[in-house]
Structure 1
Amino acid sequence: MGEVLKAPPARVLPTIVLSQFAGTSLWFAGNAVLPELKASLQLQDGALALLTSAVQLGFIAGTLVFAFLSLADRVSPRLLFMLCALLGAAANALVVFAAKDLYAVLLLRALTGFLLAGIYPVGMKIAASWYNTGLGKAIGYLVGALVLGTAFPHLIRALGAELPWQQVMLAVSAMAATGGFLLYLFVPDGPYLKKGATFKLSNMLQAFRDRAFRSAAFGYFGHMWELYTLWAFTPLILALAIPQLSPGEVSAYSFAVIAAGAVGCIGGGYLSQVWGSARVAFVQLLLSGLCCLLSLAVLQLDTPQLLIPFLLFWGIVVAGDSPQFSALTAQTAPPQLVGTALTIVVAIGFAITVISIQLTGFLFTQLQLHYTLALLAVGPALGLLALRRLV
């Protein structure tokens, strides 16, 4: 008989979660210091959409390149994670020295997004190498860490409202680099580490012929239409809807709204063990779609006491279905095409975020705030139509 594998050491999951949190803090670092960057680069109101989309496009390119080269199979995942965390931290820090040149800043933000493809998905692979059972719950914690990491630069900005923006960027970089070192030092390759499925672009259409996979993928696409757009524009929503807030308060509430998604991710992970991933994803996507529509009324009431709790609830449900969509796409993908299928779905999902962010940024200049946010409901509506087959 083969050796019975013991439970993972207690340090493994907390270290992966902490490192994932630290690494993904690079994602919205530019958003947290946007007012200062706009002033330095003499940018107009479209700066938010431009900087956010640069990161998203970089992540799409990174996802495809890493998959095509099978980097997580050729290099130890923990080493790859550390290298990408260090290089991502360096790219983020260099924004401080390039802040007078728009193209240099956009290139550095795109490079940061590219390197995030070696942090977020690779962190998932490392977790899977340690957890043969209970992976769904582990993914809930990992995506929760992504959400907190995404929100964290806003907290740094809130706590150090008087700090120069350059120090905020450097603090985020230092944290990301530390996370990379921690994971490499304390999380060896797990006993269930497997070679990833071969990435073959020619198999893309074959994967989408599977009806269950198609339902999960299109549900995820609807979710992505809303998620990053809400995250990107949360500071602007707060500043416009509650003009009496100070910049520090806008950053603090932005952190709270985005970070609230970690509650939805972790809570949804536990619920999925009872309800199943499809039902949890459906309910959270339905609730976030309703929030899009309810924003028509809530944002016109001019009542901060109602708006803040509303945005916090929206933050919980808009991100809470992310781990379940990850689980559903993995479960429904044809076994021989898992690598290609998941890579393509992630790439398409993030491409959709670019379109949504750019469109929303344009609509903010043409329509009132509440009308623009209500249009985000299109994504959840289409996602629910696709997902209902799996419920």
Structure 2
Amino acid sequence: MVRVPKRILPLIVIAQFCCTSLWFAGNAIMSDLALNFNLNSQALGQLTSSIQFGFISGTFLFALLTITDRFSPSRVFFISALLGAGFNLGVLHSENTLWSLLGFRFLTGFFLAGIYPVGMKIAADYFEKGLGKSLSFLVGALVLGTAFPHLLKSNITTISWETVILITSGLATLGGIFIITLVPDGPYQKLAPKFDSTKILQVFKNSKFRAAAFGYFGHMWELYTFWAFVPFLLKTYTELHSGIALNIPMLSFSVIAIGTIGCILGGYISMQIGVKKTAIFALSISGICCLLSPILLLKGSTGLFILFLIVWGMAVIADSPLFSTLVAQNVETESKGTALTIVNSIGFAITIVSILLFSYLIEHYNAHYLFTVLAIGPLFGLISLGKKINL
């Protein structure tokens, strides 16, 4: 039995948090970007989709070239962190237009492909047993990193939008340094002997892998659209209930960040009742929240509405590390990196469709009932997991 130093998991978690702070940096400062660069009302959806599209492109290329299965994951993580941090700084350019901002966010997303799934691959190379719990901490770090820019822009701080960009780029650089200097390649790593472009298709021939992947795809339809439009949901509530003032950046941070607790709880629960059952439980709760959203938005008291969002924020991400665990456990060791990366690529492609569709619906239909559309994802995921496949 391989003894893993106790510092390894905390270091991977800290590095993941630092680097994924790049993800929603643009969303947290959207009003500032709109003011400084004269952006239109659809810029939130476009910029969010741009970083998602960059991530999709990066993960697809990484998977196609089997990079994380052929090269040192720690080095891939480090290089990606530096490049992602650098392109994030491009947002500070004073002559930016919508197109240049879209380009910088795309490139930031592209190199996040060498951070998020690669971080999971590093964890899988260290923790053969208890992988679900380990990945729960790791995805929890992603959640905190995603929410962190909202905290920086909340009323509890007075920093400028430029400082938000500087801080997130600095954190990403630090996270990369942590991995390359303190987290060597894991004992269960098994590098693929050669480049194999057919590996993407090969993993999907496995019915157990497909069930886990399709469950993840349903989960992703809901997740990032919910995260991206939490501020919109809170703003809509204040407009419907006159006289109520909410600290929207702080609440947005809280609703997203609470998912960290959801991930950790899900990881511990999965050790008692199993990974698949826990994933079904979390996916069911988030699907119910989608359906209940119009009632709470229109009729809920402020306290009840915020509690509802907290529950939703916990459930919507709790199943993510569990799906990644199922994916990693149902492929060959030398294919784990590619499997995790291609599933991320397709999953995030789905988020673009969901986000752009949601942006369109907001412009043309009553916002009160729109979040019920997100229930399509959990329903699809539950159907996929409900098949008689022993995961």
Is TM-score (shorter-chain normalized) higher than 0.5?
Answer: yes
Preserved CA contact (<8 Å) 1:98 1:104:
no
SS class of match (2:190)? coil
TM-score (normalizing by structure 2): 0.92
Give the one of 362, 365, 383 matched to 2:363: 365
- Tell me, in whole angstroms, the C-alpha distance in 2 between the residues paired with 1:234 and 1:198: 44
Alignment of 1:280-359 (within 5 A): 280-301=278-299, 303-333=301-331, 338=336, 340-359=338-357
Alignment of 1:135-284 (within 5 A): 135-158=131-154, 161-196=157-192, 200-202=196-198, 204-243=200-239, 249-284=247-282
- Tell me, in whole angstroms, the C-alpha distance in 2 between the residues paired with 1:141 and 1:99: 40
Alignment of 1:14-93 (within 5 A): 14-93=10-89
The farther-off stretch of 335-344 and 351-360 is 335-344
Deviation at 1:201, TM superposition (A): 4.9
Preserved CA contact (<8 Å) 1:204 1:340:
yes
Deviation at 1:339, TM superposition (A): 5.2
- Tell me, in whole angstroms, the C-alpha distance in 2 between the residues paired with 1:370 and 1:329: 36
Deviation at 1:102, TM superposition (A): 1.2
Structure 1 residue aligned with 2:379: 381
- Tell me, in whole angstroms, the C-alpha distance in 2 between the residues paired with 1:382 and 1:79: 36
Deviation at 1:383, TM superposition (A): 1.3
2:214 is matched by which residue type in structure 1? F
2:272 is matched by which residue type in structure 1? V
CA 1:190–1:250 in 2, change beyond 3 Å: closer, same or farther? Answer: same
- Tell me, in whole angstroms, the C-alpha distance in 2 between the residues paired with 1:295 and 1:175: 35
Deviation at 1:367, TM superposition (A): 1.9
The farther-off stretch of 23-32 and 211-220 is 211-220
Aligned residues: 386
Unpaired stretches in structure 1, ≥5 consecutive residues: none
2:219 is matched by which residue type in structure 1? H
RMSD of the alignment, in Å?
A: 2.2
Q: Percent identity?
A: 48
Give the one of 101, 121, 126 matched to 1:130: 126
CA 1:283–1:36 in 2, change beyond 3 Å: closer, same or farther? Answer: same
Preserved CA contact (<8 Å) 1:64 1:343:
yes
- Tell me, in whole angstroms, the C-alpha distance in 2 between the residues paired with 1:76 and 1:344: 18
- Tell me, in whole angstroms, the C-alpha distance in 2 between the residues paired with 1:245 and 1:75: 54
- Tell me, in whole angstroms, the C-alpha distance in 2 between the residues paired with 1:387 and 1:198: 33
CA 1:74–1:331 in 2, change beyond 3 Å: closer, same or farther? Answer: closer
